[in-house]
């Protein structure tokens, strides 16, 4: 830096010869405030004006609790499924060479790029009792579409890239020397993977899990088509917000949204703590 | 084999110590491909098959339907407003954050990422609470005849909200990595701030910028939840393409729904191809921020 030796005392910004700080920071903050902060604080303000009794009544309404349970439960299961298969997919993409690897790698981002409504109707068509996959499962007595199982399928689709894209770069960085040492010292391949490689990957896997989980909890578009949306059975929390809004019950919509936001931010905090911890532990 | 080389039969075959046995490798690959095939390839394939189920004629008819055309126009309009808005924000935010040292920077970055952790439905809800009938602004807006909710401005705002971080989070790490040396050199050689940005910084970040815009645009055109809450679903007026897909699908018009959906799926494929090309060709210039 070409900055002059800093004079004593607190300063907001380090000196720099580059112009435009005031303009760019000012514009960014104004835009952030208008688009994100004011609308979000409106939500907080509305909740605060509800008062505790009203808030608790809505929050502990049986339908609300059930919807939250379904949202968080299915998101949890879907994230767990993605941890297993996402890690395998990442491993195959990083370690094995096969024709078309780049295409497969690119395909993993499809859930990021495909609009959720399109994913929703496509998955519903596949898993409906007369669909390609649904017809195979129907004789076995497994119903996917219009059940909570359908929600999990949609959330597995949505969450997959979060796990793969979080784990993949860390796998690429693994020093093969470590594996050679483990093998030389007599570890079996399974022991090497499980006891040498896996501990180093676990923070990334956990982060991917949390990201997929957080995304799954809030997901709406891909779920509502396949879920069947039966209250108490397959009605997710975001859908209940929409239903309350359509009933002009803004208080209930606001309260459910606040509960979901609070839980999501707790997740976000958790992710950051995990990352900080893993940086300290694994450098 | 065994007859040709009897002496070597008992010797263990050489195997790399840092990879799995061949059967394990094949099994893992089979699991991965089967999983990706079922969860990614099949849904994509089914969209196009359903769209052309009743032939090309029905497909084209579904798309030239006036409501479908209106939805396509609205989606393009919304993207044409929200993507440039977030592009300008992304550049200014990245300039402030990457080129200067100031207090509270980490907190600002967290705030920029905030929309990613908010459910799309809530992103729409906050605008309903802000501009709706029961809000502070609602009555004033109504008295002055300003329509935001259930109209195009509301749809644009909700889209801007959900696509807010895309360009910024692509540019911030990239510009931080590039440092301030080039800009300082330009300034000390007498370039103005604008010249420095235009001739020094922009050429350095152009591919990363394009990458961010690509992802931002895909989300802007495909957003469903947030837009659904603020749109009011008025056919031909406030229906974007994803909302139109929903309406047609709920009316059991599968060909119509999948025809419009196939356009969106095509957009997703184009996005993926361009994204991959950018990563292959300009990987180093997009930085290692392949997260989202």
Among the listed residues B103, B188, B244, B220, the one whose alpha carbon sits nearest the alpha carbon of residue A118: B244
Q: What is the pLDDT of residues A106-162, one digit of tens each?
A: 999 999 999 999 999 999 999 999 999 999 999 999 999 999 999 999 999 999 999
Judge whether B167 lies within some domain.
yes
Q: What is the pLDDT of residues A30-46, one digit of tens each?
A: 999 999 999 999 998 88
Q: Given B17, B36, B197, which is nearest A107 (Cβ)?
A: B36
Q: What is the pLDDT of residues A196-243, one digit of tens each?
A: 888 889 889 998 999 999 999 999 999 999 998 999 999 999 999 999
Q: Which residues of B touch A183 (CB under 8 A)?
A: 17-18
Judge whether B31 lies within some domain.
no
Q: How far is it, in rounded angstroms, from Cα A162 to Cα A112?
A: 9
Q: How far is it, in rounded angstroms, from Cα A6 to Cα A26?
A: 24
Judge whether B65 lies within some domain.
yes
Q: Given B132, B224, B261, which is nearest A220 (Cβ)?
A: B224
CATH assignment of the domain containing B154: 1.10.3720.10
Q: How far is it, in rounded angstroms, from Cα B219 to Cα A112?
A: 8
Q: Which residues of B touch A42 (CB under 8 A)?
A: 126, 129-130, 135
What is the pTM (predicted TM-score) of this model? 0.90
CA angle (A52, A56, A57) in 5-degree steps: 120
Tell me which residues of chain B have a pLDDT lower than 50: 1-3, 7-8, 288-292
Residue A106 contacts residue B276 (beta carbons within 8 Å): yes
DSSP tag of A5:
P
CA distance A17 to chain B (A): 7
In this prediction, residue B2 carries a pLDDT of 45
- What is the CATH number assigned to the segment(s) A61-282? 1.10.3720.10
Residue of B nearest to A92 (CA): B29
Q: How far is it, in rounded angstroms, from Cα B127 to Cα A257?
A: 13
CB contacts < 8 Å between A and B, how many? 298
Bin B233: left if φ > 0, else alpha if -120 < ψ < 50, else beta.
left
Hey, what are B4's tokens? Answer: 């040709």
Count of structural domains within chain B: 1
Hey, what are A72's tokens? Answer: 């968080």
Interface ipTM > 0.85: yes
Judge whether B280 lies within some domain.
yes
Would the CB atoms of A106 and B272 count as touching at under 8 Å? Answer: yes
């Amino acid at each position: 830096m070409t900055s002059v030796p800093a004079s004593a005392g607190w300063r907001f910004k380090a000196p720099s010869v580059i112009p435009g700080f005031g303009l760019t920071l000012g514009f960014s903050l104004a835009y952030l405030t208008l688009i994100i902060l004011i609308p979000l604080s409106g939500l907080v303000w509305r909740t605060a004006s509800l008062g505790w009794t009203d808030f608790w009544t809505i929050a502990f309404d049986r339908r609300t609790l059930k919807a939250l349970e379904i949202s968080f439960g299915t998101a949890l299961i879907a994230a767990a499924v993605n941890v297993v298969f996402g890690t395998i997919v990442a491993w195959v993409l990083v370690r094995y060479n096969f024709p078309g690897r780049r295409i497969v790698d690119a395909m993993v981002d499809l859930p990021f790029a495909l609009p959720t409504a399109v994913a929703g109707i496509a998955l519903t068509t596949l898993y409906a009792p007369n669909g390609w996959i649904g017809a195979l499962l129907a004789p076995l007595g497994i119903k996917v579409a219009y059940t909570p199982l359908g929600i999990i399928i949609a959330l597995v689709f949505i969450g997959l890239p979060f796990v793969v894209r979080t784990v993949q770069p860390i796998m690429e960085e693994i020093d093969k020397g470590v594996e050679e040492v483990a093998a030389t010292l007599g570890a079996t391949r399974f022991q090497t993977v499980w006891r040498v490689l896996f501990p180093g990957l676990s923070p990334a896997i956990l982060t991917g899990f949390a990201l997929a989980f957080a995304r799954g909890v809030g997901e709406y578009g891909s779920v509502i088509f396949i879920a069947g949306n039966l209250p108490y059975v397959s009605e997710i929390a975001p859908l209940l917000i929409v239903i309350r809004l359509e009933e002009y019950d803004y208080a209930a919509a606001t309260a459910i949204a606040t509960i979901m936001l609070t839980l999501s931010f707790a997740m976000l905090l958790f992710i950051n703590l995990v990352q900080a911890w893993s940086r300290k532990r694994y450098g | 084999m065994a007859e040709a080389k009897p002496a070597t039969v008992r010797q263990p075959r050489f195997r790399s110590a840092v990879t799995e046995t061949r059967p394990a490798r094949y099994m893992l690959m089979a699991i991965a491909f089967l999983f990706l095939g079922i969860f990614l390839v099949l849904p994509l394939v089914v969209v196009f098959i359903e769209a052309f189920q009743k032939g090309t004629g029905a497909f084209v008819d579904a798309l030239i339907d006036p409501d479908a055309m209106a939805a396509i126009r609205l989606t393009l309009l919304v993207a044409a407003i929200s993507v440039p808005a977030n592009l300008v924000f992304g550049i200014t935010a990245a300039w402030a954050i990457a080129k200067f040292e100031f207090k509270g920077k980490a907190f600002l970055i967290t705030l920029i990422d905030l929309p990613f952790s908010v459910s799309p439905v809530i992103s729409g809800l906050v605008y309903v609470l802000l501009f709706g009938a029961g809000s502070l602004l609602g009555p004033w807006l109504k008295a002055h005849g300003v329509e935001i909710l259930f109209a195009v401005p509301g749809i644009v705002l909700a889209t801007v909200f959900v696509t807010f971080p895309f360009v910024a989070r692509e540019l911030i790490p990239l510009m931080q990595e590039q440092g301030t040396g080039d800009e300082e050199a330009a300034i000390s050689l007498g370039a103005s701030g604008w010249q420095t940005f235009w001739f020094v910084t922009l050429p350095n970040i152009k591919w990363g910028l394009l990458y961010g815009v690509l992802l931002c645009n895909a989300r802007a055109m495909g957003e469903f939840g947030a837009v659904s809450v603020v749109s009011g679903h008025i056919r031909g007026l406030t229906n974007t393409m994803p909302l139109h897909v929903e309406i047609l699908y709920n009316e059991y018009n599968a060909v119509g729904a999948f025809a419009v959906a196939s356009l969106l799926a095509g957009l997703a494929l184009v996005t993926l191809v361009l994204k991959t090309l950018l990563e292959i060709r300009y990987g180093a210039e997009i930085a290692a921020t392949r997260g989202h």
